[in-house]
Each structure stands twice: as C-alpha cells, then as structure tokens.
Structure 1
Amino acid sequence: MSNTITEKKNAALKAVEQVQSGMILGLGTGSTAYFAIEAIGEQWQAGTLTDIQAIPTSEATAKQASSYGIPLLELADVDRIDLTIDGADEFDPQLRLIKGGGGALFREKLVAFASDKMLIISDASKEVQYLGAFPLPVEVLPKAIRLVQRVLTEKNCQPVLRKQKDGSPYLTDNQNYILDCHLGKIDNPEQLDLMLHLVPGIVETGLFLGLATQVIVGQGDDVKVFE
C-alpha cells in the first residue's frame, strides 16, 4: 500500500472514531472519504453502529453507502446534520479549504453548512500555507458559461472549462458545468469568494471558509489533528 493511501486510510479511521449510533451523518466524496464510508459501512453491517442515517454528497457516494445497506436521506429531509466526514484538495493554517476536484462541491457545501461538526480528512500533501495551487472549481449554470468565463477571465482568474475524456463538458450531478480557476496563490479567500458569488450564473465555489471543525491528516504512520 502506497504511503499516500496509508495516510488517507489512517485519517479516515481516526475520523470515524467520532461517529456514534443514532447520528445523522454527512458522507463526503472522493478517494479519502471512500475509506471513511467503508469503515462506517463495515461497522453498520457488524452491528457496532446502529440507528444511523446518512446524506451522501454525490451519486457515487450514495452508491457506495447503499452497498453496505446504510439508510440514506435527502438533505431536504433534515434541517441539521450531526457530523460530516469529507476530504479536501487543499487546507491552510486557518482550516480554509479548496474542494471540488471530484465535482461535488455544491452538494458538499450544502451538507457542510448543515453540519454541527465537519471533519476533513486528508493525506499530508493537502496541507498548504496559501490556498490556490490547486485550481479552484466554480460550478456554473450551462446557459451562463460564456458570460461567466468572460467575467472571470477579465478578473484574471484564468478559468478553464472542465471536460470529460471525450472532450465534452464535464457535468456535475446537478447538470452544471465547472470552471477550474488557475490562481496560483489566493491572498484573500474571503474577498475572492464574495466576488465570485456576485457574478450571476455562478452556482457555488470550491472555497470552504469557516466550515471545517477539524482537519485530520495522515502523516506517514501517524495522524495529526488540526483544530
């Protein structure tokens, strides 16, 4: 098993220690969240976790959780979530995040905002001093894509339309497009997020600010917890 996979798995298992019977859980999307869902599913099947319900952040996550028989809810069914476990593409010392590399940023942010606690799990490579080396995903309504692309280009965000292998535009589970903004270094994430939200046609951004309760990071064979 590679070092990165070991780190992801160790972080996931540490986070799952906070899952308790009776909770409504948010289940994230991506390669690190996969290990958390696997651990929760195994405990559910073994009967050591009971009376849990889960809200998946993507169709892929829903499929994985269903394979273990975990009861699923829609976000519209609840007004709060006890605990969410999800991954991140980057996090900084203030626990600000970039998410959306897997394309599920809108649902992930809805679930994160509804959660009493949000645990971010990652390998050591995701820790950065400044956000922005990872391209910032921005979810956009298809009918507004040309407009938003022009505006973001004028604002020097260097947006690139995410595409599938066949060259067609990548579609989110919400049937929207994603522009990946190549920013290099984000000096003021809060200001950038506000600016982006003021552009009509932008559904959501991959900046997750003030949402993470803890970031749990696998570092070699160890696990480090950032509060």
Structure 2
Amino acid sequence: MTRTTTDVTSDAEGDGASAVDRAIDAFRRGEPVLVHDAADREGETDIIYPGGAVDAEAIVHLRADAGGLICAAVSHDVAETIELPFLEDELDHPAAADHELGYDDRSSFSLPVNHRETFTGITDDDRALTIRRLAGVAKQASTGNYDAEDFAADFRTPGHVHVLRGAPDLLSDRRGHTELGLALADAAGLPPAVVVCEMLDEESGGARTPAAAREYARRNDFVYVEGAALIERLE
C-alpha cells in the first residue's frame, strides 16, 4: 500500500464536513479511513480500506494496529447476485437459534471464504488476495457478468475472510461499519467492497476510545471521521 500524507490529517473532532471530504478523497486514493460508529451503538472505531486497495502490507497494518476481526463487506445487490446468504440462516445448531444482539437487529455475517488460489488462506498474502478478488467480484457482479456458479469456481468456504452483507438501502436501513464503509466506497466511486477491522486497546482489551483513535489518526496522518457525519452527508 502506498499512502500520501498531504491533506490527510483528520479534523480535531472528526465530525465535520471537511472530515467527510477528506475521508472520501483518502478512500479514492486507496487509503484507509478510521470510522467511529456511535457511542450508543457498538461504540467502536474501525479501520476501513477499499477492498481493491488491500495488499499484504494492509493486512499487517490491520493485524498490528487494529487487532479486531478482519472482514470484507459487499453490498446487498452483490450478495444477492452471487447468492451469499446470511450465515445465521445457514446454521442448523442450537447455538444459532437465539442470536439477539445488544446493538442491532441482526448480524451482517455471511460465509467465510478463501480464494481458490490461496494455500491455507490465513497468511497476509493469502488474505489480501482473497479480499482483492472479492473486490473484483463486486465490480463484475454489479454489471451482471458474474453469478453464484462463477463465485463457487473462484472461492471456497469455509475460509479465513469473513464476508459481510450490506443492508439493501445502506445507511437508511442500518448504520453499522459495514454500511458506513460501503457508503464511503460509493461516494468515492469505488466498487461496493470494503474491509473493516475493529481497533482494540492493547491494555484493556476493549474497544479503543474515540479519543485514542483520533490521536492515532493524527500521529499517522490518517483520516478519522464520526459515523454521524457520514450519515448526515451520505444517507
């Protein structure tokens, strides 16, 4: 991943119109953006990349500096085209019978996959390859030139990249990091595929606080933006 630092520093609070503009511009350049959803939701900040920009260096960045679960999100339309289900609908086990969440109506998780050109699927190179190919799928599926049979020929499940399904109307339906990232990709004119990973605090083990995430963004010349600002602008 090649990143420029010119005009990428975040707003002091990350919640203004200029932070949204910077986030869109950074995404368009293939750079990561830090997005905090809301204090009354998950209360987490995710590092979000455009799917097509993810290389092994980006996976190292997410592992080392975020520490949460690395997931790839695709739009509802793409998921429907390649027949990706919600994972909870596919599980026939007592543990899946009651899937209540404290922060939302349902999980976005679909199938975990590996691209068939990977080996174990877990290495930085393998996960980066799977994610980039998913971004390619999102672009092809959006044109109607790719279907479930094509997907099965290219990917296998179970795998090491968890795929998330975006809500049909994105931020009008749901306001999770899945939808915030996909809305950002749409605003940047990119295919509907992004990578999200929660930022964890290495001392407490909990979510990194917004203040700590803003400071991390300032030190590293990344954009930090509040979910509320993205919703106001992009919904």
TM-score class, shorter-chain normalisation, is under 0.3
TM-score (norm. length: structure 2): 0.27
Kindly indicate which of the two structures has a greater share of residues assigned to strand.
1
Q: Which has the higher contact order (CA 8 A, sep 6+)?
A: 2
Kindly indicate which of the two structures has a greater share of residues assigned to helix.
2
TM-score (norm. length: structure 1): 0.28
